[in-house]
Amino acid sequence: MKVHLKIWRQKGENVKGRFETYTVDNVSEDSSFLEMFDILNEQLVAQNKEPIAFDHDCREGICGMCSMVINGIPHGPERETTVCQLHMRKFKDGDTIVVEPWRAGPFPIKKDLVVSREALDQIQQAGGYISIRTGAPQDANAVLIAKDTLEKAMDAAACIGCGACVAACPNASAMLFTAAKVSHLNYLPQGAPEKDRRTIAMVEKMDELGFGNCSNYGECQAVCPKGITLDFIAKMNRDYAVAKAKQLATQGQ
């Protein structure tokens, strides 16, 4: 199959970018989207042109590095799928495909389709850990956890931190990412002692970094490659309200 590509090219954060048009022919419909990009870059190198910079690592849908907005949809048209797992059979022969980087103020463009997502790391570093004694591991059944609670924690832990939720949100909100990381630990008994401090620290770091507020559009849930739901945002809002109330009560004493 043959596809026409309109790809965003930009040499750096403070350099004006532009779309450039390319054509890739003889692409197998069984190729992944990133494999198609590999073919394009080989063509560019053969023509002594600069290849297109894009992020990738595991190519197994695990790391979330393959961040591209494809025809206006983060990670492309297939639901709950990362770009590396998107196959060319999802497109038609002769299609024109528009490829852009994540668009969000806290995600500065480093080059072409590569953006810095250090802001997400900072949110997690603000409170995404537990302070417990290290040493010999406990038996698996030493701390009993209800099945429903455990499953919710594991659902939240599925977040790979790709940032698609931010890219899809009209407000560039990181609420879904932050809620998943907060809820993962807040559901578990190991995270309970620091639940309030963690929730406040991560939410306020998110605001400090310039992410927008959640307006319940639901675009984040629609594009999340791991199916993280808005339920976790509701939980985080409740946890934050309770934590702030306790904090204000303590300060008023």
pLDDT for the residue 134? 64
Q: How far is CA 144 from the centre of its chain?
A: 31
Give pLDDT < 50 ranges for the chain. none
pLDDT for the residue 137? 67
What span, in angstroms and rounded, lies between the C-alpha atoms of 171 and 217?
10
What span, in angstroms and rounded, lies between the C-alpha atoms of 171 and 206?
13
pLDDT for the residue 130? 81
pLDDT for the residue 142? 76
pLDDT for the residue 253? 59
Cα separations in angstroms, 253 against 115, 194, 246: 46, 21, 11
Reported as type and span, the H/E element at residue 145 is: none
pLDDT for the residue 40? 97
pLDDT for the residue 223? 97
7 phi/psi in degrees, rounded to 5: -115, 135
pLDDT for the residue 114? 97
Burial 216-231, CB ≥16 within 10 A → b, else e: eeebbbebbbbebbbe
pLDDT for the residue 131? 81
What span, in angstroms and rounded, lies between the C-alpha atoms of 228 and 80?
9
